[in-house]
Structure 1
Amino acid sequence: MVTRIQRMLKRLPTHVADIKDNPRWLPMFALGRVMLFRNLAWKLTAPPEHIDLTNTLFPELDVDHVTEQLRRDGLFQGVRLPTGITSEISSFARRTPCFGNFDRKIELVAEEHRSVELATGKAILTGHFFERVLDCEAARRVQQDPLLLQIAQNYLGGEARVTATRLWWSFPSKKAKDYDLHLASQDRFHFDLDDWRMIKYFFYIEAVDENSGPHVYVVGSHRQRFLRHQFTLVVGHPSEEIERSYGREAIVKLTGPEGFGFVEDPFGFHTGSLAERAPRLVLEISFGVSEKLHRRFHGEPVIH
């Protein structure tokens, strides 16, 4: 309990700054975890637009099928990036410096990971590119893909828009402690409270197996939520508790080859896992219905 309170207090300046930046964020943060209010927000959706899908990177996907499975499970697997796009993003990520552990003072390229850990004495579990991802033409093309937008509008409503584009490494580390895992969202299942309605696309730019930090999702938890997981100030819960509540069979570990992708409703419980053997490189495109925060890049803590 003490640790949870300490984490909440550490996040407090970020929450206060978010409220100042956009006061409409407060009711969502306070009430968005309660299914009653969340379901009411879903009833306010505008009809989706009809979007020209001629230039999509994903012509094999059926929009209605993806939307239906998202509504039922909160998760759809089988969004695959073309090889050329995957290669371009991988090349960009290997030559472009990222920021270790969300800290702009720790700048490194991926191959320097071990030497930077030794030099700083810190566990470096993640390397985020923040706004630099938008310097990658291939990543921008994925972000702007019309089919991804069409699925988002079908699921979220006509207000759906891109709210974040992220590219980051998850690095193996033998130095990781509990706080490091928490910072990297690898310590417990949690749900996102960034918007009333959201979906996120994830693409593995390099192959991910069980030892490379696969993403884990609890199928169906986006629409069925126990009261103790609604009326709580924390969004994170231990794996054992989630397994008891929603069943082991609902927990899906997502592995796949280069270019493998999936889309999820991040209100469902999910977690990252520690990369043990090889680093993981992920591109994430988020869609929501509210205006995004301009004060900081998505995922970046408040800078004091």
Structure 2
Amino acid sequence: MFCVTRIQILRSIGILVNKHAIDQTYQDMNRGNNTVFPNLDIRKVVETLNKDGLFLGVNLPSDILQEILIFSLPIEYYANNNPNLQFFLVDKEKSELKYQQNFVMATHVHRSIVCPAIQRLENDPILREIAARYLETNPIFIDSRIRWTFPVNDSLHEAVRGFFNFHYDLEDYRFVKFMFYLTDVFESDGNHVVVKGSHKRKRLRDQFSLTRDAIDQDILNYYGQDHVESIYGKAGCGFVEDFYCFHQATLPISSSRLILEMTFSMNRYSSTFKPKRRFEK
């Protein structure tokens, strides 16, 4: 996918070839499921996604948020994008000493996380309908991830450095992620940044480069400051994004950030891995 989806004309051809009418089976599956987003205007969300690659305002109800927060505390994570660095939050400092590195990020990932509130979001008919209309096919659920980002004073570990530079992802010809802040995220709290419209307009050098990164000043010069959206909000604030847009994480300074990420795509090209639990052989 790396060589094909990065070039916009080939990506457009791939999207065209992979588009299929949303079939009756998918529509029947969604019937009877209650949404937690009754006020979302699906048409407006999809139109904004097509235009900007980003829609803000997919916010979690407080009961769903609280259930996910409770679930997030005792589960096992892996650190710094390395599934071999497994630990529990209560053992973070001890584990940093054990692995001899500061933890910048901690991730818990599964095809379907065993949390009723998250499973309800994964199967929410409004979210799935948004994914279906934007992808123009039956959306394939890839995985859900809960991710912490921690304040650090030292230089970033190489495995996570790229998250904090402007970059774009190439998991499929087209895919979307529903993102929900699970903690308050304001200035200095590790907000997410998106370059609106960059899913449809990239410089040739960015399409043919051997990397997917871009320098901040180059982004500002080409797209303009008005297209760079820094996303802030209280816990429960959510958005949906086409990750072919240039985007970046920012390092929190004052407090740790927790986010939930759910991915839907046209195909299952991305390699979702599940770290072995300690009791598995």
What is the TM-score of this pair, normalised by structure 1? 0.82
Question: Whole-Å Cα distance in 1 between the matches of residues 218 and 173 of structure 2?
Answer: 25
Equivalent position to 1:66, from 45, 48, 51: 45
Equivalent position to 2:10, from 22, 31, 37: 37
Q: How does 1:287-298 map to 2 (within 5 A)?
A: 287-293=264-270, 296-297=273-274
Q: How does 1:6-155 map to 2 (within 5 A)?
A: 28-44=1-17, 45-49=19-23, 50=27, 51-52=30-31, 55-131=34-110, 134-155=113-134
Q: Percent identity?
A: 31
What is the TM-score of this pair, normalised by structure 2? 0.88
Question: Whole-Å Cα distance in 2 between the matches of residues 254 and 221 of structure 1?
Answer: 16
Q: Describe the SS at the equivalent of 1:287.
A: strand
Report the residue type matching 1:71 in the other structure. N
Question: Whole-Å Cα distance in 1 between the matches of residues 217 and 154 of structure 2?
Answer: 24
Question: Whole-Å Cα distance in 2 between the matches of residues 180 and 42 of structure 1?
Answer: 31
1:233 to 2:210 alignment = yes
> Runs of 5+ in structure 1 lacking a partner?
1-27, 299-304
Q: How does 1:153-172 map to 2 (within 5 A)?
A: 153-172=132-151
How far residue 279 of structure 1 moved from its aligned partner, in angstroms, is: 0.8
Contact 1:133-1:166 within 8 A present in 2 as well: no
How far residue 239 of structure 1 moved from its aligned partner, in angstroms, is: 1.2
How far residue 102 of structure 1 moved from its aligned partner, in angstroms, is: 2.7
Q: Choose 63-72 or 231-240, whichever is displaced more.
A: 231-240
What is the number of residues matched between the two proteins? 269
Question: Whole-Å Cα distance in 1 between the matches of residues 146 and 77 of structure 2?
Answer: 9
Question: Whole-Å Cα distance in 1 between the matches of residues 57 and 211 of structure 2?
Answer: 32
Contact 1:133-1:167 within 8 A present in 2 as well: no
Question: Whole-Å Cα distance in 2 between the matches of residues 216 and 34 of structure 1?
Answer: 23
Question: Whole-Å Cα distance in 2 between the matches of residues 234 and 156 of structure 1?
Answer: 25
Contact 1:125-1:176 within 8 A present in 2 as well: no
Question: Whole-Å Cα distance in 2 between the matches of residues 133 and 87 of structure 1?
Answer: 19
How far residue 54 of structure 1 moved from its aligned partner, in angstroms, is: 5.2
Contact 1:168-1:283 within 8 A present in 2 as well: yes
1:283 to 2:260 alignment = yes
Q: Choose 148-157 or 31-40, whichever is displaced more.
A: 31-40
